[in-house]
Structure 1
Amino acid sequence: MTNKKVAVIIGGNSGVGKRTALDLARQDVNIIIVARNTNKGQQVVQSIRQQTGNSDIQFIAADLTTESAAASLASQLALRLDRIDILVSSLGILTTDQQLTPDGYDQNFVLNYLTHFWLINALLPLIKNSAQGRILLIGALPIIVRRLTPTSPQPVPSSSSYSGLTVTSNALVGRLLLTRKLATILQGTAITINIFHPGNVPDSSYGTQSTGWLLRLFGPLIAQLSKKNQPIGARLATAPELASVTGQFFNESGKVIRLPQQFSPSLTTDWWQTSCKLTSQPLNY
């Protein structure tokens, strides 16, 4: 196994994942991009290799709508790697109509929250093998986060008054609370977890990865508030001064943003307990 840092980028075909992969490749990091679309994934790998001169860029195709798929990906990676130093989980979608996964859960809820929970759990043994493992999730503009109304998780929301935007927004709440919870659980280990808003990154597929649907809702003002093309993901993944910083929400400039009081300890516990109930694989946390 190479002595280079090893990064796994979930959802690295576009947007934040692609941009972070490119920035890390420029730091000579060994990168595995995971996404569903094989053709696009291979094109992204070739593009990053050409732009950076880094040949250690690989692609794995995976449709991560089920827990078994997350477990299968972890098994594939365990055959290739002896450790993961950096995990960037940037997967996400927004569908307006309710669609259920093969497990019977709401697809917006799964791909914007539950898959992240499953993946971190499945990949944690490899991350624990790192001398200093870092997990990164994707947040949203602080102005949006401050206006969220956090509620309990709803794996199967009512279809009669379904709102994909509401489910996706609440999944963002879940990612923020998961960051806080895992930072506490992983205290005493060499693993950190943080969540960040990456700025206005082109080619992003949904609002929490850049500004996407949030811009369509709130207009040009928010676009002006969100700086473009900030390498914040790569900085959080590698900066030595951040080696022990964990459980934080960063904006695109690298400033720590405090969560509102609505993100309470009781709600954090609620999300955690529900997530564990929706997980059949052994917990590695």
Structure 2
Amino acid sequence: MSKRVLITGGNSGIGLCTAEQLAAQGAEVILACRDQAKGQAALARIKHNQPDARVRLFELDLADLTKVRGCARRLNDELDGLDVLINNAGVVPDRQQFTADGFEMQFGVNYLAPVLLTHLLLPLLQQRPGARILHVASVAHWLGRINSRTWRGRRPYLVMDSYGQSKLGNILFSDVLAQRLAGQDITSNALHPGGVDTPIFRHAPELLMKLIRPTLTTPEKAARLPTRLALDPALDGVTGGYFDAKGPAARSPRARNKKVAERLYQDSMALLGINPL
């Protein structure tokens, strides 16, 4: 039986290449994207290259939690199950911006909204044995620290500090999920797919570039890791991991701190107004 995979932000970059590779391996692909024009273009590109591909498009705006809830309702209404959720979408603005709910944009879009979406889609994941949740993090999590005083904005605004916090949050959330879903046959893993030499790095400090530069690759190569983590039968039951293209990857001491992970999770549940698992 083929797998049904939902990928957020699957309309460009690594996300689109991942969607293409998933479809090429026979998966049914659901693109959840904010920009519907780009989403339609991505869908058309996949269908043009793979006429038999099964691909659908849903509108998802991670910068507005009300719209996240609306998308989740539609998905729950229209789907009878989900094998893999890939939280891929993210932003790196060059100046401070805010979500519709008043959160700093990177914290809100890269971290908090995917936490909400994941919880709301659990009923679909619970319908499929061996379901998987993947969180696209980054080696930039080494720069991050969890600081609740910055979640609704900071002065001065430090782009890569904010990005690092959001990616650290992805890994910590993945670990909490792995623990709390252990008895439900649902795995949770985080990954660094590798950087692609694009304008996303134009604001990066030299320290981060020293970490990232050896990993720069093409979107097609970077997409191989999330595709493998989504579909490879050899990874059945593997949970709580953090991977790069070479295998299990080194994570920062902060990314291994279980107390910080639990506190962040509880604080996130309070911000979202939902019950912890």
Q: Same fold (TM over 0.5)?
A: yes
Name the CA distance, whole Å, in 2 between partners of 1:222 and 1:164. Answer: 16
Q: Does 1:157 align with 2:149?
A: no
Query: Cα deviations across residues 139-190 of structure 1 (Å, max 9, x unaligned)?
Result: 223xx44x424233432133x3122321121111100100111100111111
Residue 109 of structure 2 corresponds to which residue in structure 1? 111
Match of 1:179 in 2: 174
Distance 1:42 1:20, change over 3 A: same
Aligned to 1:270: 263
Equivalent position of 2:213 in the other structure: 223
State the partner residue of 2:183: 188
- Check conservation: 1:28, 1:54, Cα contact below 8 A: no
Give distance in 2, aligned partners of 1:218 and 1:276: 30
Contact 1:7 1:29 in 2 (8 A): yes
Match of 2:239 in 1: 246
Instruction: Supply the distance in 2 between the matched residues of 1:52 and 1:284 (Cα, whole angstroms).
Output: 41
- Distance in 1, Cα, partners of 2:196 & 2:160: 20
Q: Check conservation: 2:3, 2:83, Cα contact below 8 A.
A: yes
Structure 2 residue corresponding to 1:256, chosen from 248, 251, 255: 248
Taking the aligned partners of 2:61 and 2:252, their CA distance within structure 1 comes to: 34
Task: Give, in whole Å, the separation in 1 of the partners of 2:147 and 2:208.
Answer: 25
In 2, Cα distance between the equivalents of 1:149 and 1:232?
23
RMSD: 2.3
The gaps in structure 1 that reach 5 residues or longer are none
More helix by share: 2
How far the C-alpha of 1:261 sits from its partner, in A, is: 2.5
* Mapped contact 1:10–1:88 kept (Cα < 8 A): yes
Distance between the aligned counterparts of 1:223 and 1:54, measured in 2?
A: 37
One-letter identity of the residue aligned with 1:157: G
Give the structure 2 partner of residue 81 of structure 1. Answer: 79
Structure 2 gap segments, 5+ residues each: none
**Matched positions, count:** 272
String of CA shifts for 1:254-284, please: whole Å, max 9, x gaps. x11242333312211221111011112x437
Determine the structure 2 residue equivalent to 1:123. 121
Q: What TM-score does the superposition give when structure 2 sets the normalisation length?
A: 0.89
Deviation at 1:9, TM superposition (A): 0.8
Q: Which amino acid aligns with 2:27?
A: V
Which amino acid letter does the alignment assign opposite residue 254 of structure 2?
A: Q
* Deviates most, 99-108 or 180-189: 99-108
When residues 131 and 227 of structure 1 are mapped into structure 2, their CA distance, relative to the original with a 3 A threshold, is same
Q: Output the CA distance in 1 between the equivalents of 2:12 and 2:208.
A: 23
Q: 1:194 is paired with a residue of what secondary structure?
A: strand
Please give the alpha-carbon distance, in whole angstroms, between the structure 1 residues aligned to 2:62 and 2:248.
Answer: 30
Q: What is the DSSP-based 3-state SS (H/G/I as helix, E as strand, rest coil) of the residue aligned with 1:105?
A: coil
Report the counterpart of residue 232 of structure 1 in structure 2: 225
